[in-house]
Structure 1
Amino acid sequence: MRKPVSFFFIVALLLSNAVLLSACGGQSSVAPEKKEDGKSFTIVTSFYPLYISAINVAKDVPGVKVVNMTEQTTGCLHDYQLVPEDLKTLSEAQVFIVNGAGMEAFMDKVVSQLPNLKIVEASKGIPLITGEGEEGDNPHVWVSISNDIQQVKNIGLQLAALDPDHAAQYSANTTAYAAKLEDLQARMHQSLDGVKNKDIITFHEAFPYFAQEFKLNIAAVIEREPGSEPSAAELAETIETVRQAKIKALFAEPQYPAKAAETIANETGAKLYILDPVVTGPMEPDAYIKIMEANLKTLEEALN
């Protein structure tokens, strides 16, 4: 026959369970589990080509997130004005990677409103090409493979200094991506150094550094500022340049309408090609390389 359970035993058991539950609850509130993103390190880039460089340099670095500030439709940041959403994005970042060389005309506003934000200037130390008249320095340094390699190295060095816990990984990623770019550079030089036709007409002032690297001569520029149609006199002058120099290749850009370039091609018989300055494209690590490989094929056809 089963013995009756003592009243005092039941009370003791209940009190014991209450103490255990209280202890568990107290431990949970005092020392909650840390989230995986508890030590996140957010990097914001000003526009597309810097984003591609940054995702390669920061590849697989724990806790690091790379965000591009501007929409792809922005293209180059000519006269770009910050919007409230941009400042919100930057306020949540630890680092802002910019091209520099005058590309980001809004930097005074960023510095004044977010004085603690660390700025990484990718074009640091790169010799700049001075524009005509009051144009200032040409900021399109990344279009040259050599300069893009230097920008990647600048980004790697500065991120390693700002996030020293992961300096070794930034360094390894920088070396690996720079090696890919150097291979691209060698292939492009092998193909383009011997071309006979060196004179080209470009759409806007995006290609002087590229032309400098591959010893091409930009005989004329269709639109000094993208989106600003050339005047009738400027159009006539370019048409005359094409005829006199017997230029066979005109280059428009995929980001902008090619109406003026088409007019010149129709008037001169020159063929119109597309050359991409890498300001829009897939948000993928190999995008810069793939776009430049497509440019290489275009140039091989146009200049040989």
Structure 2
Amino acid sequence: MFGRRVSALIFSISLMICYFVPIRAYASRAKDINIVTSFYPVYIMAKNVARDVPGVSVRNLTPALTGCLHDYTVTSDDMKKLAGAQLFVVNGAGMESFLDKIIAQHPDLRIIQLSEGISLIKGKGNSGDNPHVWVSVSNAIIQVKNLGKAMEEFDPLRKELYAKNTADYAAKLEGLRRKMHSELAAYKGRPMVTFHEAFPYFAREFDLNIVAVVEREPASEPSARELADTVEIIRRNDIAALFSEPQYSASAARAIAEETGAKIYVLDPAVTGPDDYDAYINIMENNLVVLKKAFAQ
């Protein structure tokens, strides 16, 4: 009896070895792949999908403190990074306004756009679609799956590794999504004032109502008339909290707070942060804590 159990155990281990060793062996024979990502949230997604995959490296194009890519201009150093890359992974939806320039200079570079399949929200005025899709956890899951599928197609010798990483990270994001939906359900329809147009997808997902935006044009201080309009909206809706972002000056938000008595809270659109696999998840969990505190007052 004992001998049969030992034999069965050895057989099971042999099957596991036969399954995993070929994957690593094929991967080791595949060509090295250098992935460059456009900015921070895309970088964190790519890090997770390519996690521990032999011969695959991930670098971010823009500096860690860049934040959103509104009006970003590519530099000569950026072009040097792309010269050694096989893949350029971007958010899409109009976030990377410099994409045409990169395509012109690197026509053979494969570009993966992660916003495919996401229902886009129109921006204000003539600004096109709002590109801040990743701020919605459900959209982030779509983006991660888009990237995983693209990597499997581009690099079939390592597809099992990409598939596992994608499934693992998507499962973590799904757990985050369920938690946030459960804990924010009590605040459906709650009016809120955000700093700039980063949170419409977040608000749509959790059924929150953005009634005003402090900075209507990216990286530009609101006019006196715009500040007055925002103050009036806050008073009319009896809003006790307004949200700034860690990447931008809170001077306009402070002026509004002084005028209305509203308290300032910080919501993070996850465009800067640490070089950690779980950085996006940690940022969103902190946003959940902030929202619950703000809405409970």
Using the size of structure 1 for normalisation, the TM-score is: 0.87
- Look up the match of 1:251: 243
Aligned-partner SS, 2:186 = coil
For 1:182 and 1:275, the matched residues in 2 are separated by 21
- Alpha-carbon shift at residue 131 of structure 1 (Å): 1.2
- Alpha-carbon shift at residue 39 of structure 1 (Å): 3.3
For 1:144 and 1:112, the matched residues in 2 are separated by 32
- Alpha-carbon shift at residue 237 of structure 1 (Å): 0.5
- Look up the match of 1:46: 38
> Does the alignment pair 1:183 with 2:175?
yes
For 2:30 and 2:142, the matched residues in 1 are separated by 32
Give, as a single letter, the amino acid of the residue that structure 2 aligns with 1:235. L
> Does the alignment pair 1:237 with 2:226?
no
For 2:216 and 2:35, the matched residues in 1 are separated by 32
For 1:207 and 1:37, the matched residues in 2 are separated by 44
- Look up the match of 1:88: 80
**Unpaired runs of at least 5, structure 2:** 1-27
- Look up the match of 2:196: 204
Give, as a single letter, the amino acid of the residue that structure 2 aligns with 1:68. N
Kept in 1: contact 2:189–2:207 (CA 8 A): no
Kept in 1: contact 2:88–2:110 (CA 8 A): yes
Cα distance 1:119–1:301, how it changes in 2: closer, same or farther (>3 A)?
Answer: same
Aligned-partner SS, 1:193 = helix
- Alpha-carbon shift at residue 72 of structure 1 (Å): 1.7
> Does the alignment pair 1:193 with 2:180?
no
Kept in 1: contact 2:196–2:216 (CA 8 A): yes
For 1:197 and 1:157, the matched residues in 2 are separated by 35
- Look up the match of 1:100: 92
Give, as a single letter, the amino acid of the residue that structure 2 aligns with 1:130. K
- Alpha-carbon shift at residue 37 of structure 1 (Å): 10
Cα deviation, 1:8-48, whole Å, max 9, x if unaligned, reads xxxxxxxxxxxxxxxxxxxxxxxxxxxx8993210000000
> Does the alignment pair 1:273 with 2:259?
no
- Look up the match of 2:145: 153
- Alpha-carbon shift at residue 124 of structure 1 (Å): 1.0
Kept in 2: contact 1:153–1:178 (CA 8 A): yes
Give, as a single letter, the amino acid of the residue that structure 1 aligns with 2:73. Q
- Alpha-carbon shift at residue 80 of structure 1 (Å): 0.7
Q: RMSD of aligned C-alpha atoms?
A: 1.3
**Unpaired runs of at least 5, structure 1:** 1-35
| Identity within the alignment, % | 59
For 2:165 and 2:189, the matched residues in 1 are separated by 37
- Alpha-carbon shift at residue 196 of structure 1 (Å): 6.3
For 1:37 and 1:298, the matched residues in 2 are separated by 48
- Alpha-carbon shift at residue 224 of structure 1 (Å): 1.7
- Give the counterpart of 2:276 among 284, 294, 298: 284
For 1:96 and 1:132, the matched residues in 2 are separated by 28
Cα distance 1:196–1:46, how it changes in 2: closer, same or farther (>3 A)?
Answer: closer
Give, as a single letter, the amino acid of the residue that structure 2 aligns with 1:158. A
- Look up the match of 2:128: 136
- Look up the match of 2:70: 78
- Look up the match of 2:56: 64
Kept in 2: contact 1:197–1:303 (CA 8 A): no
Aligned-partner SS, 1:72 = coil
For 1:161 and 1:245, the matched residues in 2 are separated by 50
Kept in 1: contact 2:89–2:113 (CA 8 A): yes
- Alpha-carbon shift at residue 227 of structure 1 (Å): 2.2
Kept in 1: contact 2:42–2:89 (CA 8 A): yes
Kept in 2: contact 1:37–1:63 (CA 8 A): no
For 1:54 and 1:153, the matched residues in 2 are separated by 11
- Alpha-carbon shift at residue 194 of structure 1 (Å): 1.1
For 2:82 and 2:29, the matched residues in 1 are separated by 18
Aligned-partner SS, 1:93 = coil
For 1:185 and 1:284, the matched residues in 2 are separated by 19
Give, as a single letter, the amino acid of the residue that structure 1 aligns with 2:235. R
For 2:285 and 2:38, the matched residues in 1 are separated by 24
Aligned-partner SS, 1:73 = coil
- Alpha-carbon shift at residue 197 of structure 1 (Å): 6.7
Q: Highest Rg: 1 or 2? A: 1
Kept in 2: contact 1:220–1:238 (CA 8 A): yes
For 2:190 and 2:123, the matched residues in 1 are separated by 21
Give, as a single letter, the amino acid of the residue that structure 2 aligns with 1:84. S
Q: Report the more deviating stretch, 41-50 or 197-206.
A: 197-206
For 2:97 and 2:38, the matched residues in 1 are separated by 11
- Alpha-carbon shift at residue 249 of structure 1 (Å): 1.1
Cα distance 1:42–1:272, how it changes in 2: closer, same or farther (>3 A)?
Answer: same
